Amino acid sequence: MPATTTMPTVTLHERVEAIFKKAGLNDIQAGALARVIVAAERDACKSHGIYRIEGALRTIRAEKVVPDAVPELVQQDHSAIVRVNARRGFANPAFELGLPVLVERTRALGLAALVINDCTHFSALWPEVEALTGHGLAGLAMCPSYSTVAPAGGNKPLLGTNPMAFGWPRAGRSPYVFDFATSVAARGEIELHRRAGKRLPEGWAIDAEGQPTTDPDAALAGAMLPFGGHKGSAISTMIELLAGVMIGDLISPQVLDYLGSTTLAPPHGELVIAFSPEVFAKGRDGNPLERAEALFDAIAGQGARLPSQRRYAARARSEMDGITLTEAEMEQLDRLLALGLEAVA
Would you please indicate which residues are annotated as catalytic (active-site) residues?
A: 47-48, 189
Q: Within its chain, how far is the Cα of 102 from the centroid?
A: 19
- Please list every residue from 131 through 150 that binds ligand NDP, using CB under 6 A: 143, 145
- φ/ψ of 41, rounded to 5, equals -65, -45
Tell me if 54 sits within 8 A of 33, measured CB to CB. Answer: no
The binder of 213, among ligand NDP, ligand PYC, none, by C-beta within 5 to 8 A per type, is none
Q: Which is nearer to ligand PYC, 175 or 188 (CB)?
A: 188
Under 8 Å CB-to-CB from 115, ≥6 apart: which residues? 75, 81, 82, 83, 84, 247, 269, 270, 271
Q: How many residues bind ligand NDP (CB under 6 A)?
A: 27
Residues 307, 314: Cα–Cα separation, whole Å = 13
CB nearer to ligand NDP: give 211 or 261: 261
Distance CA 193, CA 105 (A): 43
Q: How far is the CB of 308 from ligand PYC (least distance, A)?
A: 18
Q: Of 89 and 340, which has the nearer Cβ to ligand NDP? A: 89
Considering only 307, 315, 317, 324, the residue that binds ligand NDP (CB under 6 A) is: 307
Cβ-based nearer residue to ligand NDP, 196 or 345: 196
Q: Residue 272 Cβ, how far from ligand PYC at the closest point, in Å?
A: 16
Q: In the beta sheet, which residues pair with residue 324?
A: 6
User: Nearest distance from residue 105's CB to ligand PYC, in Å?
Assistant: 28
**Residue placing its CB nearer to ligand PYC in the complex, 122 or 168:** 122
Nearer to ligand NDP, 154 or 307 (CB): 307
Among 5, 26, 47, 254, binds ligand NDP (CB under 6 A): 47
List CB contacts of 126: < 8 A, sequence separation 6 or more. Answer: 45, 165, 167, 177, 179, 308, 311
Report, in Å, the least distance between residue 269 CB and ligand PYC: 14
Closest CA to 102 of 123, 81, 86: 81
Identify the residue among 92, 106, 161, 252 touching ligand PYC (CB under 6 A).
Answer: 161
Binding mask 260-299 for ligand NDP (x = CB under 6 A): ----------------------------------------
Return the one option of ligand PYC, ligand NDP, none that residue 309 interacts with (CB less than 5 to 8 A, by type). Answer: ligand NDP
Confirm or reject binding of residue 95 to ligand PYC (CB under 6 A): no
> Which residue type, as a one-letter code, is found at position 329?
E
Chain residues that interact with ligand NDP, rule: CB under 6 A: 45, 47-48, 121-126, 143, 145, 161, 163, 165, 178-181, 185-186, 189, 305, 307-311
Chain residues that interact with ligand PYC, rule: CB under 6 A: 47, 122, 145, 161, 181, 186-188, 266
